A and B are shown apart, each in its own frame.
Chain A
Amino acid sequence: MERREALKNTLLIAGYTVSASTIASLWSACSPKKAAWTPQVMSASQATTLAAIADCILPATATPSATSVGVDQFIDGFVAEVFSADARKEFTDGLDSLDKQCADKNGKTFADCSGDQQHDFLSGLDKDSAGLPPHAWGMDVGKTGALTFYRNLKSLIVRGYFTSQEIGKNYLLYNPIPGAYHGCIPVTDKTRVPFEG
């Protein structure tokens, strides 16, 4: 109860109005969901796993969840059309391996775990794997470490979410024709990350 109130206050300070049903849905973020579309590359159960992972990382708050903007479907299409055959196999094997690791730890596959179990499991993977190196002008400008399957997957989930039209147009700063460049302006409550660049 305490945490829920604190979260509600945080969201109000951030300028969002939060409904009770939204808050309720926060607690169902890390929980099983069924895939409602036909994957090209993943099996139905792999798609379910991916959806659960994506919504655990990016649950519904005052802004949509990952699956509600089709991140799972985007990733399936991306893997189908962009990845090489080898990379596609690595991807589906990676999902299976992640699921097996979860089953080894919790006795259940990822999608069947409780929200807390899912959160804790992914946190462990996150803390254990190097981040992406800083990148500028088409080159790495730093070194981190070997990139794990989880890191690459998380990157794809974040990218699929924030480059979606729903998020870009409605929740980020959507300024396709800025008209000017202001180099130093105050950050306000209304400041948002731009949709591009």
Chain B
Amino acid sequence: MATSSQHFDAIVIGSGISGGWAAKELCEKGLKTLVLERGREVRPIQDYPTAMMDPWDLPHRGSLTSEEEKAYYVQVRSGFIGGANKHFYNRDVDYPYDEVKRFDWIRGHQSGGRSLIWGRQCYRWSDLDFTANAREGIGVDWPIRYKDIEPWYDYVEKFVGVSGEKLGLPHLPDGQFQKPMELNCLETYLKGKIEGNFPGRHLTIGRVANLTEQLNGRGPCQFRNRCDRGCPYSAYFSSVSVTLPAAAKTGNLTMHNNAIVREITYDPKTKKASGVKVIDAVTKEESEFTARLIFCNASTVGTTFIFLNSISDRFPNGLGNDSGELGHNIMDHHYRIGAYGEYEGLDDGTYEGRRPNGIYIPRYHNIDAKSKNPNFLRGFGYQGGASRAGWGRGASIAELGADFKDSLFKPGGWSMFLAGFGECLPNHENKVSLSPAEKDAWGLPKLVFDAEFRENETAMRVAMANDAAEMLDKAGFKNVNIYDAGSYPGLGVHEMGTARMGHDPKTSVLNAHNQVHTIPNVFVTDGACMTSSACQNPSITYMALTARAVDYAISEMKKQNI
């Protein structure tokens, strides 16, 4: 259907975890689709330079130099970046932004975006989450319910490949799972203790997008735990390994890297978007593309930038921004708080293999009348894991010499940590905007972040710390301590909410189909669309919303509504 090299049936902005899905779905349904990715090309396997490197192969055994730490001055706040994966993170000196309040924007610009480096945890939402705003009079009501998204969770999980254990919990619906990974000795022990001491609480293995069974020629996981270097076995889900190749297989995909979309162009005559304006990240050459349909999946803040920068007479405050909510209500999960303890015993048991997954304790606060908490709304889950001390303990044991050294070759004692992930309430005052004067290296307005965690988050964190300590304590752990490593918006790497879905165009940007209320051919299915944050890792929800929205867009195109 495309007639010139500049016109396509569909344009997808961004090739990350949701953009890759948009590309696959659109291409598989026969649309000539252009994917515009602002970052560099990453091809599967051949562009994973460190995937097979052992510690002694990595420069500086995997440490960043002090010069690198200065260049990646935001990314280092996460604790995730090191020598083995820094090529998948942004050099912050090249991508500065303003923080009115501290915001740790953790990201990488490349094919697949953060789907190369994500934590791969996949938890469904339920109506407990979709109805929360309406029940509590906070933000706006989600325009969808679980029944709308359930078949799409089924659909995407079967293609992604998520391993996990079914629990039958209404507020954490079971998915289409492959065999779950194993808990280790101490985790199994703690599971028994928690479920005995706190009836209604559960500890399970993480629901994770790593294959425990072969799927469509991918995997299974080899338990190297080097996922964020890229997987030579395609055993975890990323756009690069899975959805982009599926899109390419159809023959309908055109993908441009180094293509920064500066704005979506709006045609007041058709009352639709006509296309996009692009600036090349390397050459700074400008170009334009047109399409019948546009999916904006540039990540929450990336999409928000494009919309805010798309100014027209019809939309003087940003594309589709009649409500004034664009850029507002930014949320992120707060975490980096919980407890740690040591366990004396189970010395005759250990584990083998490096599991790229931890445990999960589903939310148990505010899930029903019985569990209503007087101090805070919503709730949190825990991730974490148990391990036996390795040679690293040698740094801190106050011994030296022959016996000390020899002992380090054998596993040390068991310990466990729990890290809470807490829901964040939407607040209009938490926002992202464009700097009126400052520009980036491409002459585009710099982004300004002004957001903070507030009362409900702070109150929740008290329980996140105390409950974790209590669970370890009651299970007989020793030297149990609470920790709070500091949590600022952005560190959860689940930033979302700046172009929220809602029933009413006066108070939301997108409708129940992720379609801009006032522009029928523009869809947003990345984190920007989220009306509330729940406490579950959101990516599988983005993927499900994307597949659902493409299906809707196609049916609308068939009816000539788009």
**Which A positions have Cβ atoms within 8 angstroms of B?**
7, 10-11, 14, 26, 29-30, 56-59, 61-63, 74, 78, 81-84, 87, 119, 122-123, 126-127, 131-132, 134, 136-144, 151, 154-155, 158-165, 168, 171-173, 175-187, 191-197
Residues of B within 8 A of A87 (CB): 66
B353 and A182 form a contact (CB under 8 A)? yes
- What is the CA–CA distance of A196 and B392 in the complex, to the nearest angstrom? 11
**Is B101's CB within 8 Å of the partner chain A?**
no
B351 and A56 form a contact (CB under 8 A)? no
**Is B463's CB within 8 Å of the partner chain A?**
no
B411 and A191 form a contact (CB under 8 A)? yes
**What's the least CB distance linking A52 to chain B, in Å?**
12
- What is the CA–CA distance of A24 and B181 in the complex, to the nearest angstrom? 48
Residues of A within 8 A of B348 (CB): 186-187
Which of A63, A141, A162, A177 has most B Cβ within 10 Å?
A141
**What's the least CB distance linking A178 to chain B, in Å?**
4
A83 and B66 form a contact (CB under 8 A)? yes
Interface bits B298-317 vs A (CB < 8 Å: 1, else 0): 00000000000000000000
Interface bits B63-76 vs A (CB < 8 Å: 1, else 0): 11111000000000
- What is the CA–CA distance of A62 and B407 in the complex, to the nearest angstrom? 12
Residues of A within 8 A of B184 (CB): 183-184
- What is the CA–CA distance of A135 and B410 in the complex, to the nearest angstrom? 20
Contact of A194 among B63, B390, B399 (CB under 8 A): B390
Residues of A within 8 A of B67 (CB): 84
**What's the least CB distance linking B481 to chain A, in Å?**
5
Residues of A within 8 A of B409 (CB): 63, 171-172, 192-193
Which residues in chain B, 333-353, are within 8 Å of chain A measured between CB atoms?
336, 338, 340, 347-353
B182 and A184 form a contact (CB under 8 A)? yes
**What's the least CB distance linking B490 to chain A, in Å?**
14
Known: A142-B483, A163-B61. A193 touches B399 (CB 8 A): no
Which of A161, A164, A178 has most B Cβ within 10 Å?
A178
Interface residues on B, range: 35 or more
Contact of B181 among A82, A141, A181 (CB under 8 A): A181
**What's the least CB distance linking A111 to chain B, in Å?**
16
Which of B52, B336, B391 has most A Cβ within 10 Å?
B391
**What's the least CB distance linking A184 to chain B, in Å?**
4
Chain B residue with Cβ nearest A60: B402
Contact of B54 among A119, A122, A168 (CB under 8 A): A168
B182 and A182 form a contact (CB under 8 A)? yes
A182 and B351 form a contact (CB under 8 A)? yes
**Which B positions have Cβ atoms within 8 angstroms of A?**
52, 54-56, 60-61, 63-67, 78-80, 181-185, 187-188, 222-225, 336, 338, 340, 347-355, 384-385, 390-392, 394-406, 408-411, 415, 417, 419, 481, 483, 485
- What is the CA–CA distance of A148 and B391 in the complex, to the nearest angstrom? 20
- What is the CA–CA distance of A142 and B384 in the complex, to the nearest angstrom? 14
Residues of B within 8 A of A180 (CB): 223, 352-353
Residues of B within 8 A of A58 (CB): 400, 405
19 residue pairs of the A-B complex, CB under 8 angstroms, read: A30-B401, A56-B401, A63-B406, A81-B65, A136-B385, A137-B419, A139-B483, A141-B417, A143-B481, A158-B408, A163-B56, A165-B56, A168-B54, A178-B354, A183-B184, A184-B185, A185-B349, A187-B411, A194-B354
A162 and B408 form a contact (CB under 8 A)? yes
Contact of A29 among B352, B385, B401, B406 (CB under 8 A): B401
Nearest 10 pairs of A and B residues by beta carbon: A138-B79, A131-B396, A183-B182, A181-B353, A155-B395, A178-B353, A139-B485, A84-B66, A197-B354, A184-B185
Residues of A within 8 A of B55 (CB): 163, 168, 195-196
Contact of B401 among A59, A140, A173 (CB under 8 A): A59
Which of A122, A161, A196 has most B Cβ within 10 Å?
A196
Residues of B within 8 A of A83 (CB): 66
Contact of A158 among B347, B392, B410 (CB under 8 A): B392
Besides the known contacts A57-B405, A193-B408, A193-B411, 16 further A-B residue pairs in the complex with CB atoms under 8 A apart? A57-B401, A82-B65, A123-B400, A136-B384, A137-B419, A139-B79, A141-B481, A155-B396, A160-B61, A171-B409, A180-B352, A180-B353, A181-B353, A184-B182, A187-B349, A195-B55
Residues of B within 8 A of A183 (CB): 181-185, 187-188, 351, 355
Chain A residue with Cβ nearest B397: A131
**What's the least CB distance linking A112 to chain B, in Å?**
19
Known: A29-B402, A181-B223, A185-B352. A82 touches B66 (CB 8 A): yes
B185 and A172 form a contact (CB under 8 A)? no
**What's the least CB distance linking A159 to chain B, in Å?**
7
**What's the least CB distance linking A73 to chain B, in Å?**
13
Contact of A177 among B224, B395, B401, B406 (CB under 8 A): B224
B411 and A181 form a contact (CB under 8 A)? no
- What is the CA–CA distance of A183 and B411 in the complex, to the nearest angstrom? 14
